[in-house]
Chain A
Amino acid sequence: MELADFQFFVEVLVGGLLSGVMYSLVAIGFVLIYKTSGVLNFAQGALLLFAALTFVSLVEKGLPFWAAFALTFAALTLIGIGVERAVLRPLVNQPPITLFMATLGLSYIIEGAAQLIWGTQVHALDLGIDDTPIDVAGVFISTFDLVAAGVAAAMVASLLAFFRFTRIGLAFQAVADDQFAAVAVGLRLHRVWVVVWTAAGLVALVAGLLWGARLGVQFSLSLVVLKALPVLVLGGFDSIAGAIVGGLIIGAVEKLGEVYLGPLLGGGIESWIAYAVALALLLVKPSGLFGRPSTERA
């Protein structure tokens, strides 16, 4: 391979890995909820849209960054409480598929409501991050992507610390491990769920801001959920590490596939190539790279 070709390859690969981080950001929100309640929360994308739309609308009304951030977070907390009261509590002990369908309904409600409240226009979101590519040994890397990767790393680190060192974080782990045992030793399941949904809301907010700055804040933001699903399948629904590795793999495969395979197939393959890769891996390893083997009766 010529040097220029190789540099181009590295550039595509790095670009792919960094955009994969953006997928991981969305996927982590799923993992949080799946780990503690066994629910595949399809509404994560809708939460992301709601968060970004609320934030950007507040900023456009003249609020400073941190006030808008705090208000949006408060709104997401309210949603978390509402979801626990109105959806999770009545559906406790239902099969996981029922809960999944409920979150599908939930995503319709949140998407519809977010746009009814804030309108359907596209908003530009400027986080003040410079997006000029920087030159690393002849390979151009987007600054924005680097910042996004840094934010993701910080978020994962704080989540892990939270899980390990705080009481409520330990309660998360207990609930994830065995719901009945957790209730039996006196953990308040309902409160844990509220906190988990709020944490997932916070993840959605961070991811929504980064994605919104990238794509503009609009309805199609909620579709990033469809990018996160193959990441989850690949990494396993219940593993944060899996979400990160899965995101990196999917990001790299998408970009490399688009550049090297796309011309052969006529382009536009990024809509399904992630799914094809995830499926191929699943056929070999049905619980994903890092997922716990299914305890469902086979």
Chain B
Amino acid sequence: MADVAFRLAAPSRRLTSGAVAGALVLASAYLLPPLVGSTYLFEAILLPFLALSLAGLGLNLLTGYAGQLSLGSAAFMAVGAYAAFNFDLRVPGLPFVGSLILGGLSAAAVGLAFGLPSLRLRGFYLAVSTLAAQFFVQWALNKFDWFSNGSASGVVRAPDIVLAGHVIDGPVERYLFALTVVVAATLFAVRLANSQTGRNFIAVRDNETAARIVGVPVLRTKLVAFAVSSFIIGVAGALWSFAYLRTIEPAGFNLDRSFQILFIVIIGGLASIRGAFFGAALIVVLPLALSRLGQAAFGGAFDSGVLELSQRVLLGALIIAFLIAEPKGLVALADRARARALRPFLKPPYGG
């Protein structure tokens, strides 16, 4: 019964137009940048954008869909990156994609462990408990140099990505590889969000008691949300280290990174697959644009310190502005803009 009810309540899928738009976006993502892009475009914009989008997507499943606020995303990124590194290093003959998936699974296992408190805690108490993941993982990575193969600082150079004997080299190839991983993970997330499990996520978020009454296994749903979300975030962490930075370092996965990913989800749009991409695009482009603007306006006085601080202020203001004016995020803005643009071409809905 519950099954039927949820299926009826599920949003109708506009399969045709959505699929066409998706195919167009995909085709241009694969074809356009390699044709016209510069190294700068790949290294400074597209690669971090892809990794952060994926991390945002993972957190959105947990926070946006299942309603469990997490402040420890960067820890799961770190687990994914370091686990992939260690599988790649210590398991001979394992293809890189295998290391990537095992890295994601390791992050899922850690996520599951730190998700256990969600069975008893909710709201702020849970959010604070996810901070424990953040501090514990960072401490462990700094403390035990086994994770970084004996590097005292915990920083290691990421090994090359090898696919079927071919070394993925250069920004364009790394971009295409990262893009393929992100596309696969996104398809998975879309399927999940539209499945019974995805609807269970939303039911748990909206009203736990009601969800339990209609037969949603609340505890299992929460744990699944933590595991799946951490898996995707872990893969994102591996992409961040292997495809974008080319080094793996604990400092890059600090609390600020966790907040950054949360901001991506808020600005992009909670409980929306596209939201993570919109949010990540804004977060990646914002400092670059701000730096250009500041240089143009203030010249030399606008140094990197001032840039970082003004970026903080601007980011904070953006968060508050979005929470107040558009809690559904950039996705809602984009949808409204599209509706407005298409209005002249559509028949009036009320027969007038």
How distant is A288 from chain B, measured CB to nearest CB, in Å?
8
Q: Which residues of A contact B311 (CB under 8 A)?
A: 112
Q: Mark A263-298, 1 if CB is under 8 A from B, else 0.
A: 001111101100110110011001110000010111
Give the number of residues in A that approach B within 8 Å (Cβ atoms). 51
Flag whether A230 is at the interface (Cβ < 8 A): yes
Contact A112 B324 (CB under 8 A): no
- B313: contacting residue among A108, A226, A294, CB under 8 A: A108
How distant is A16 from chain B, measured CB to nearest CB, in Å?
19
- Given contact pairs A96-B123, A97-B123, A283-B120, A275 touches B309 in the complex (Cβ within 8 A): no
Which residues from 37 to 69 on chain B have a C-beta closer than 8 Å to any C-beta of chain A? 69
Contact A108 B312 (CB under 8 A): yes
How distant is A171 from chain B, measured CB to nearest CB, in Å?
24
Q: Which residues of A contact B327 (CB under 8 A)?
A: 94, 98
Give the number of residues in B that approach A within 8 Å (Cβ atoms). 43
Contact B124 A100 (CB under 8 A): yes
Contact B125 A282 (CB under 8 A): yes
Q: Chain B interface: which of A62-70, A113-121, A151-159, A175-183?
A: A113-121
Q: In the docked arrangement, what's the CA distance between A55 and B255, Å?
A: 27
Q: In the docked arrangement, what's the CA distance between A237 and B319, Å?
A: 24
- A226: contacting residue among B121, B131, B319, B323, CB under 8 A: B131
- B132: contacting residue among A98, A105, A265, A276, CB under 8 A: A276
Contact B139 A268 (CB under 8 A): yes
Q: In the docked arrangement, what's the CA distance between A283 and B116, Å?
A: 10
Q: Mark B123-140, 1 if CB is under 8 A from A, else 0.
A: 111011101100110110
Q: In the docked arrangement, what's the CA distance between A108 and B143, Å?
A: 29
Q: Which residues of B contact A109 (CB under 8 A)?
A: 312-313, 316-317, 320
Flag whether B207 is at the interface (Cβ < 8 A): yes
Q: Which residue of A lies closest to B119 (CB)?
A: A283
How distant is A177 from chain B, measured CB to nearest CB, in Å?
19
Contact B207 A91 (CB under 8 A): no
Q: In the docked arrangement, what's the CA distance between A268 and B340, Å?
A: 56
Contact A286 B124 (CB under 8 A): no
Flag whether A233 is at the interface (Cβ < 8 A): yes
Which residues from 136 to 167 on chain B have a C-beta closer than 8 Å to any C-beta of chain A? 136, 138-139, 142-144
Interface residues, chain B, with chain A CB atoms under 8 Å away:
69, 117, 120-125, 127-129, 131-132, 135-136, 138-139, 142-144, 207-209, 255, 259, 262, 266, 305-306, 309-313, 315-320, 323-324, 327
